[in-house]
């Protein structure tokens, strides 16, 4: 029986509470001087991995939890957070500031790491809240030929290999059963991520971050999609307020909504 | 990789024909013979999911020939239903019960084989739970960067999609030979289910085993219209305070309007409403004629799911709630008074 070796990809994104602004040149969203934090779905992945270890829910135990991030030097901040939450060590694939790697490129990097580190479970967020693509986990599973369970709201184990995942689908949930190795993507209802405590933040500073490049892993990150432009969505005109319920009904009729 | 080379030859031919600069959709009609789209259609228990016909509409906007794809056990009836859909020339059907649940492990390989065989330039599926779990896997197997959740098509290579929870709109151009696209359902209406007469042929079936097994499902049953496609939606938030109040206040209003019921994440997390009712970045994206919400402050993650609604009406006791910045009709007041009053007055009409 082999223990779990979990890989958790995390992404540094603009904080979810910040309203993003498009830059003047309409080429991208303004990121300079904007608060960044760990992608919320990735926090769920770290939390779930740590809980599997703490609750001993997998009979073989958890051998290691490795956090991974591909991004600019500042991506190390989110790796430190991940380690303060309970990841054992980290891998950072550094790219230049402002260089955005596509999901397919990330999936290829992850595949190389999975093979290098002999990983048997990847716990991935269902999507990053900047690109909103929702592709990386599925792409990785495809490249590896592994099973996948997306938008997980519950993960449990059967014996020393079986994984049972409840997934969020349109209109409810669906349950699938698979064998290790597997790629799981996490959804909001999976758990409630912990806050990193101060002592753990201090301890995380001593944990190791392996730095490497895409070349080290033998991956070509050439982009396939070119961003032509980025614009603000057309603003909605707040139509002002009405005094009472009758006013509301009248206005809705006037607008043709009733 | 025979289809790949074929495509690149066609691609060269197309580049020569194409005028420089941005082109409008109609000018593609001359090139349409070279462009061929595969619309992946969903089925459930031997019935075609009409919501998935948005993929056909998107394919029509691209121009070119359109092939529909269906797979599952006893697929004949579904294929016949799909053959009647307006605009489709051919249906490729694979009859094998192993594909009934749309498990991506075997469905992705099935699709890859049929894409290669058909030499399609575009593959389109709805950005639904099925499309979301399946399409990236197909993309990885074909070594293509997928384009997710598009809301518009500028030309055969260029697509528009919202990013940052709809706070920005990006236009992206793909350099891949095959375009794999998932479409936002609210941006592409379903194609007409009648009027077509497509031929039906059997697709290739690689008969791959799935490494995952479908165990069961737990779907919320409702007699009200489907949230994602309803013309009217009433939605409640944390302001409802409990599940009992949510049901007592919101459901009669929904029935008075013939509307679907939605909820904010706060309401779902607090257990007031079922998870499947969540509207927002992480839930459903809706764009009804009327979106009427009560007790919802209007966080950006929620707005991402509803701000394309035609008319937005809001009832909230906080006059400074952000929801009033987007609402066409705002009423400041206690929802426990105002919503029942509204329900009564709507019923009398």
ipTM: 0.95
Q: From chain A, pick out residues whose CB is under 8 angstroms from the CB of B232.
A: 257
Please report how many Cα atoms fall inside a 13 Å half-sphere around the Cα of residue B78, on the Cβ side: 29
Say which residue the tokens 């056909």 belong to: B56
**pLDDT one-digit tens code per residue, B256-297:** 999 999 999 999 999 999 888 999 988 888 999 999 999 999
Q: Which residues of B touch A147 (CB under 8 A)?
A: 105, 210-212
User: Which one of A133, A178, A255 has the shortest CB-CB distance to B212?
Assistant: A178
Residue B139 to residue A175, Cβ atoms within 8 A: no
User: Beta-carbon neighbour count of residue B133 at 10 Å?
Assistant: 28
Give A-chain residues touching B345 at CB under 8 angstroms. Answer: 245-246, 249
Pairwise CB contact (< 8 Å): B212 & A164: no
Contact B307, A233 (CB under 8 A): yes
- Neighbouring CB atoms inside 10 A of B206's CB total 12
Nearest to B236 by CA among B262, B207, B216: B262
Please state whether the peptide bond connecting residue A24 to the residue before it is cis, i.e. omega within 30 degrees of 0: no
Report chain A residues whose CB lies below 8 A from the CB of B282.
Answer: 187-188
Structure tokens at A85: 């939450």
Residues in chain B: 349
Q: What is the pLDDT of residue B281?
A: 84
Residue B32 pLDDT: 47
Cα-based distances in Å from B308 to A254, B187, B302, B316: 19, 9, 12, 20
Distance from the A86 Cα atom to the nearest Cα atom in chain B, whole angstroms: 25
Q: Does B137 touch chain A (CB under 8 A)?
A: yes
Contact call for residues B283 and B265 (beta carbons, < 8 A): yes
Alpha helices in chain B (DSSP H): 2-17, 54-62, 76-83, 104-118, 129-142, 243-257, 265-269, 300-303, 323-326, 335-348
Cβ-proximal residues to B171 (8 Å cutoff; 6+ apart), any chain: A227, A228, A229, A230, A231, B154, B158, B159, B160
Q: What is the pLDDT of residues B314-342, one digit of tens each?
A: 999 999 999 999 999 999 999 999 999 99
- From first to last of the 258 residues of chain A, give the pLDDT tens digit: 589 999 999 999 999 989 999 999 999 999 999 999 999 999 999 999 999 999 999 999 999 999 999 999 999 999 999 999 999 999 999 999 888 999 999 999 999 999 999 999 999 999 999 999 999 999 999 999 999 999 999 999 998 889 999 999 988 899 999 999 999 999 988 999 999 999 999 999 999 999 999 999 999 999 999 999 999 998 887 778 999 999 999 999 999 988
Q: CA-CA distance, A184 to A125, in Å (whole number)?
A: 8
B179 touches chain A (CB under 8 A): no
DSSP three-state, residue A233: coil
Residue A131: half-sphere exposure toward Cβ, Cα within 13 Å: 21
- Put simply, the answer to whether A142 touches B138 (Cβ < 8 Å) is yes
Name which of A135, A137, A143 is nearest A102 in CA terms. Answer: A135
Set of chain A residues whose Cβ sits within 8 Å of the Cβ of B274: 172
Q: With an 8 Å Cβ cutoff, is B256 touching chain A?
A: no
Residue among A107, A179, A248 whose CB faces B331 most closely: A248
Whole-prediction pTM = 0.90
DSSP-assigned states of every residue in B52-66: GGHHHHHHHHH-SEE
CB-based contact, B239 to chain A, within 8 Å: no
Residue ranges in B199-329 assigned as alpha helix (H): 243-257, 265-269, 300-303, 323-326
């Amino acid at each position: 029986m082999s223990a779990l070796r979990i890989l958790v990809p995390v992404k540094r994104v603009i904080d979810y509470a910040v309203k993003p602004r498009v830059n003047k040149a309409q080429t991208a969203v303004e990121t300079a001087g904007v608060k960044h934090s760990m992608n919320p779905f990735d926090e769920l992945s770290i939390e779930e991995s740590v809980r599997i270890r703490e609750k001993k829910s997998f009979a073989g135990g958890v051998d290691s939890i490795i956090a991974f991030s591909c991004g600019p030097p500042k991506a190390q901040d989110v790796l430190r957070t991940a380690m303060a939450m309970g990841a054992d060590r980290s891998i950072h694939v550094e790219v230049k500031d402002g260089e955005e790697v596509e999901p397919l490129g990330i999936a290829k990097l992850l595949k190389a790491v999975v093979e290098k580190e002999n990983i048997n479970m990847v716990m991935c967020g269902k999507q990053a809240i900047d690109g909103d693509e929702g592709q990386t986990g599925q792409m990785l599973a495809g490249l590896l030929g592994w099973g996948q369970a997306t938008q997980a709201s519950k993960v449990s184990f059967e014996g020393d290999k079986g994984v049972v995942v409840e997934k969020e689908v349109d209109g409810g949930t669906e349950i699938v059963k698979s064998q290790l190795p597997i790629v799981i993507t996490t959804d909001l209802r999976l758990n409630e991520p912990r806050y990193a405590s101060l002592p753990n933040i201090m301890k995380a500073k001593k944990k190791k971050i392996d730095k490497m490049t895409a070349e080290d892993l033998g991956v070509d990150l050439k982009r396939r999609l070119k961003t032509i432009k980025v614009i603000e969505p057309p603003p909605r005109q707040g139509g002002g307020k009405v005094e009472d319920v009758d006013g509301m009904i009248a206005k809705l009729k006037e607008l043709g909504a009733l | 990789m025979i289809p790949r080379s074929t495509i690149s030859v066609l691609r060269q031919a197309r580049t020569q024909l194409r005028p420089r600069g941005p082109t409008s959709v109609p000018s593609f009609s001359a090139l349409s013979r070279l462009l061929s789209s595969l619309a992946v259609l969903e089925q459930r228990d031997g019935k075609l999911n009409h919501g998935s016909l948005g993929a056909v509409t998107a394919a029509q906007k691209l121009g070119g020939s359109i092939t529909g794809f269906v797979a599952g056990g006893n697929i004949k009836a579904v294929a016949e239903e799909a053959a009647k859909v307006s605009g489709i020339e051919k249906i490729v059907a694979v009859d094998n019960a192993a594909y009934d649940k749309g498990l991506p492990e075997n469905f992705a390989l099935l699709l890859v084989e049929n894409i290669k065989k058909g030499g399609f330039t575009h593959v389109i599926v709805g950005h639904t739970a099925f499309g979301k779990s399946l399409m990236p896997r197909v993309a990885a197997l074909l070594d293509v960067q997928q384009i997710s959740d598009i809301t518009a098509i500028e030309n055969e290579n260029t697509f528009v999609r919202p990013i940052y929870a709809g706070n920005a709109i990006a236009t992206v151009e793909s350099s891949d030979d095959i375009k794999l696209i998932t479409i936002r359902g609210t941006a592409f209406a379903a194609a007409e289910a009648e009027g077509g007469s497509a031929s039906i042929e059997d697709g290739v079936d690689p008969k791959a085993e799935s490494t995952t097994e479908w165990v069961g499902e737990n779907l919320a049953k409702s007699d009200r219209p489907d949230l994602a496609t309803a013309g009217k939606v009433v939605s409640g938030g944390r302001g409802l305070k409990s599940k009992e109040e949510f049901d007592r206040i919101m459901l009669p209003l929904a029935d008075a309007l013939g509307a679907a019921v939605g909820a904010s994440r706060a309401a779902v997390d607090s257990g007031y409403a079922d998870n499947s009712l969540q509207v927002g970045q992480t839930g459903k994206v809706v764009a009804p004629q009327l979106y009427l919400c009560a007790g919802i402050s209007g966080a950006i993650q929620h707005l991402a799911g509803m701000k394309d609604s035609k008319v937005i009406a809001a009832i909230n006791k906080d006059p400074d709630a952000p929801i009033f910045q987007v609402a066409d009709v705002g009423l400041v007041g206690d929802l426990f008074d105002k919503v029942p009053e509204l329900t009564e007055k709507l019923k009398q009409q």
